[in-house]
Chain A
Amino acid sequence: MKRILCLIPAHNEAANLTAVVAEVRSRRPDLDILVVDDGSTDRTMAIVPRLGVRWLQLTDRLGIGSAMRAGLRYALRQGYDAAIRIDGDGQHRADDIDALLTPVSASHADIAIGTRYHQGGAARKPRAISALARLLSARTGRHVTDPTSGFYALGPRAIRILAEHHPTGYPEPELRLFLRRNALSVVEVGVRPRARFMGHTTLTTGRLATAAARVLLALVIVPLRPPERETAAHV
């Protein structure tokens, strides 16, 4: 039987984590849950140990990319066959986990990424997102519809490579470039978006400008890097 790890990266999500974990459990009781606390300064770490889940605590805020690398390395060492990332703020529905895991479990793709902007979807696509999607599609030669989606399922090969090299910063657009460069196959799966449960997004205007600059740099640089080697699973 396949062992699947559900990764929940969280930075200051004390208000939402309990509900997010409960939702994942009720939909997919077979998944092991790993919360990766990314240097939270609220009561997140007071709550996590009482949820009955596995958890990692990063002692400083390193960003979602680092949280993912740590979680994926844990998955690799514990011998998981697949992993799924679902955010700790409630914007991803546990109902969509099945649809994301199906192509990965059937080995149709190395990674399945949830898209809010699939055909027949209700979400309106902001202009900046459309522009970014077009740039990424052109640079990767793949059809990218939701360039900032952080809801994705990973198969064994994707876990082995991303455990060392998951992009950092504001990583989702760069991830698309990285996947293409390392010949990891991608399918996009339609998901129904939802507003985060409580609190505010950590994206401010300044952070958004930094993110945009990093994405532009990545568009130029990432396709020029040599492909990464896979890391061997070590126990």
Chain B
Amino acid sequence: MSDRIQMELLASSVLLLFVVLELVRRRKLTEEYSFLWILAALALLVVSMRQDMLRLAARWIGVSDPPAVLLAVLIATVFIASLCLSVIVSRQRQQIERLIEETAILSAELRDLRAVHATK
């Protein structure tokens, strides 16, 4: 891998880390969901600085071109991140359903109470 690609990779991972931390600082991204991205940025950072790891991984997997491993790692990261997001969205959907159901029950109970109160 050329030094230029390495520098670009290093810059991208630092930028990603900075953007994520800035989003947390501005409370646009809550802490619990930021770790996913911080971990991804750190992994990218480590890979960009330690090329020997990349070469080791390439030999281990049986890929002749180390940058291809980098691409695979990136795709895997995006894949895992979107799976995590699907889980989060599903959980939020369940929470929203539950809230709407509870709101309906509560307003019915409130209606009943008001009716009792009015007849007293």
What residues make up the interface of A, taking CB atoms closer than 8 Å to B? 36, 54-60, 62, 66, 69-70, 73-74, 77, 168
Contacts and interface: CB of A to CB of B under 8 A. Distances in A.
B108 to A, nearest CB: 5
A62 B105 contact: no
B101 A57 contact: no
B108 A66 contact: no
Sort A-B residue pairs by CB-CB distance and give the 8 closest, nearest first.
Answer: A70-B101, A56-B104, A74-B105, A70-B104, A56-B108, A58-B104, A66-B97, A58-B100
A59 B108 contact: no
Interface in B61-120: 97, 100-105, 107-109, 112
Given A55-B108, A70-B102, 6 more contacts: A54-B108, A56-B108, A60-B100, A66-B101, A70-B104, A77-B105
Could you tell me the dominant secondary structure of chain A's interface residues? mixed
B100 A62 contact: yes
A56 B100 contact: no
Contacts of B105: 56, 70, 73-74, 77
Contacts of A69: 101
Contacts of B101: 58, 62, 66, 69-70, 73
A154 B18 CA distance: 56
B93 to A, nearest CB: 10
Contacts of B103: 59
8 contacts: A54-B112, A55-B108, A57-B104, A58-B101, A69-B101, A73-B101, A74-B108, A168-B97
Contacts of B97: 62, 66, 168
Nearest to A66: B97
